[in-house]
Amino acid sequence: MALRIIFMGTPEFSVATLKALHAAGHEIVAAYSQPPRPGGRRGLDLQPSPVQKAAEELQIEVRHPLNFKGEEDRAAFRALNADVAVVVAYGLLLPEAILTGTRYGCYNGHASLLPRWRGAAPIQRAIMAGDRETGMMVMKMDKGLDTGPVALTRRVEIAPDMTAGELHDVLSVVGADAMVEAMAKLEAGALTTMPQSDDGVLYAAKIDKAETRVDFARPAAEVHNHIRGLSPFPGAWTELPIGGKLERVKLQTSTTGEGRGAPGDVLDDELLVACADGAVRLTRLQKAGGKPLDVADFVRGTPIPRGTVIA
């Protein structure tokens, strides 16, 4: 027998899990997602979320309440008579009435090795902190912020130059597979959970725009982790002297390099930049309104010669 599942998710990260559960033969009775937001080239058209688009393609009913404070929305959720709710990056805190509104409760696919990196930005924070490993966890949700007991864990190595975007894509697929396994065990009555440890708790705060500027006065490893942890979104940036004025440039990728100098000194003609300890080579950059370019193509059109100082 298939489970009756309510799916709750919003961004592209969630889509793989929705499709995998559907392909596994479960009945997705409704998909909850954040409401359409302004977007498009002019920012005027309302754009449905990736989950809404995927659900509509699968002919699944889509709902997007602003919250669950009203009894009408809570009653509509319960009326679906679902066995379980699966939550992957939905974007709303769920009240007790929703957490207990299905037969088996709500299970969340979370992109970290809990209790490390509870919260909104676990992928970015893991890379920015220089973690060498992360993973996906299937957790039974409770009223806390990512504090519920864990049902299943999948570990993923973080390669030295891996960006948040690359890790995002890996974890999306890993998480989908993990959730399908968890739901199969739940259906068979064989899914068990284990409480999270009280040790090692860290919170992955939402990325603030104020922390996206690169500070070359930090050690090279930290600068490198900062750049790749914010790539491709929201993007780490610096200002480069272009055409006689400073222009903001996003730094998409980098790698650590050999070299010494005062922080911000450009050490060669291919953007090896000195840091407090060692240096980073900027390997992919993007001007405002332009395409991302590998460093060789970037400096061919916009030379940043040795001896330039980046503040």
Binding-site residues for (6S)-5,6,7,8-tetrahydrofolate sit at 112-115
Instruction: Determine the 3-state secondary structure of 117 from DSSP.
Output: coil
Crossing angle (nearest 10°) for helices 12-23 and 50-57: 20
Q: Are 135 and 174 in contact (CB under 8 A)?
A: yes
Q: How many CB atoms lie within 10 A of CB 105?
A: 17
Cα gap 78→90, rounded to integer Å: 18
Cα gap 23→30, rounded to integer Å: 15
C-alpha pair distances (Å), 45 with each of 6, 39, 40, 55: 28, 5, 6, 20
Q: How many CB atoms lie within 10 A of CB 254?
A: 27
The dihedral sign for the CA sequence 92, 97, 103, 104: positive
C-alpha pair distances (Å), 203 with each of 120, 134, 143, 206, 223: 8, 14, 16, 9, 21
Cα gap 9→87, rounded to integer Å: 6
- The separation between the first and the last C-alpha atoms of the chain, rounded to the nearest angstrom, is 62
